[in-house]
């Protein structure tokens, strides 16, 4: 009884937010036109994506850095791509942070590592996005803007960073999203580890892969690049990692390769 009452209350609350945060038809269509991997989804998926995007825009706080003004069009372009992975899981997975900082372009971050001999090495890392536990999340607008074209090489910075958020939702960046029980976790680790080992081997051989070779740097990055590819280049991802594809399809409750068009 209480459960049903609560879910009715939540539905009413969400409906009020969606009405307050209405996305105009013009802006919605313009956004879809820039994201072919989203535009090819079914009418039902698109309606739910639009509803979730309104809720997402209400929950998150955008800020521009380096002189960038975050317009409604920029915020929606990010919201739609961020909501795609959680289309059938809902926004609670993104509850761990609020702020999204958008830079005009990539950001150079000074890094330091200490090697085994205790020698400090300084270097610059170029970032198109970054997700930290507890946020904020950082994105390069140039990379977000070009998502339609970069889908051809399985690259999507928004989905990549939000995959990290999903991975970290259970407290650890270990390439395993929150799961119901230990058995599910063991199954996930077995499938993902096997795919990761094959992938690292292919990268060592210099083989051309659908997934970004950057994924070989660790199991957390492998998860992020595999999720990216699952949503924007699903055919290539499925061809290379059939079992991982099936695991993702079950987890995300979506089968992007089965979409028409």
Interacting residue ranges for Zn ion, rule: CB under 5 A: 221, 224
State both tokens at 10: 């939540």
Specify the residue for token string 């005009």. Answer: 104
Grouping H, G, I as helix, E, B as strand and the rest as coil, residue 166 is: helix
CA 53, distance to chain mean position in Å, is: 14
Sheet holding 61-64, edge to edge: 61-64, 99-103, 137-140, 129-131
Q: What DSSP designation does 256 have?
A: G
Residue 153 CB, shortest distance to Zn ion, in Å, is: 16
Residue 219 CB, shortest distance to Zn ion, in Å, is: 12
Q: Between 143 and 221, name the residue whose CB sits nearer to Zn ion.
A: 221
Among all residues, whose Cβ is closest to Zn ion?
A: 224
Quickly list DSSP for 171-224.
Answer: S--SS----SSHHHHHHHHHHHHHHHHHHHHHHHHT---SS-GGGGG-HHHHHH
Q: Between 28 and 214, name the residue whose CB sits nearer to Zn ion.
A: 214
Q: Between 118 and 134, name the residue whose CB sits nearer to Zn ion.
A: 134
Residue 160 CB, shortest distance to Zn ion, in Å, is: 6
Q: How far apart are the first and last CA of the chain?
A: 43
Instruction: Give 47's contacts (C-beta < 8 A, 6+ positions apart).
Output: none
Q: Between 221 and 240, name the residue whose CB sits nearer to Zn ion.
A: 221
Residue 131 CB, shortest distance to Zn ion, in Å, is: 7
Residue 93 CB, shortest distance to Zn ion, in Å, is: 17
């Amino acid at each position: 009884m209480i459960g049903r009452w609560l879910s009715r209350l939540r539905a009413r609350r969400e409906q009020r937010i969606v009405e307050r945060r209405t996305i105009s038809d013009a802006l919605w269509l313009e956004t879809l036109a820039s994201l072919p991997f989203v535009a090819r989804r079914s009418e039902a998926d698109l309606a739910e994506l639009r509803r979730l995007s309104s809720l997402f825009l209400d929950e998150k706080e955008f800020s521009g850095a380096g002189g960038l003004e975050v317009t409604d069009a920029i915020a929606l372009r990010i919201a739609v791509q961020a909501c795609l992975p959680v289309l059938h899981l809902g926004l609670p997975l993104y509850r761990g942070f609020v702020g999204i900082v958008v830079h005009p372009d990539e950001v150079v971050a000074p890094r330091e590592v200490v090697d085994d001999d205790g020698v400090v090495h300084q270097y610059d890392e170029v970032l198109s996005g970054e997700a930290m536990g507890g946020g904020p999340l950082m994105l390069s607008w140039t990379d977000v803007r070009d998502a339609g074209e970069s889908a051809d090489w399985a690259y999507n910075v928004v989905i990549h960073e939000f995959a990290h958020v999903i991975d970290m939702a259970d407290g650890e960046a270990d390439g395993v999203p929150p799961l119901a029980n230990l058995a599910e976790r063991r199954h996930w680790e077995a499938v993902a580890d096997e795919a990761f080992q094959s992938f690292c081997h292919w990268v060592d051989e210099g083989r051309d892969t659908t997934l970004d070779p950057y994924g070989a740097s660790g199991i957390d990055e492998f998860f992020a690049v595999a999720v990216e590819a699952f949503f924007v280049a699903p055919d290539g991802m499925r061809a290379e990692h059939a079992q991982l594809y099936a695991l993702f399809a079950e987890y995300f409750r979506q089968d992007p390769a089965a979409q028409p068009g």
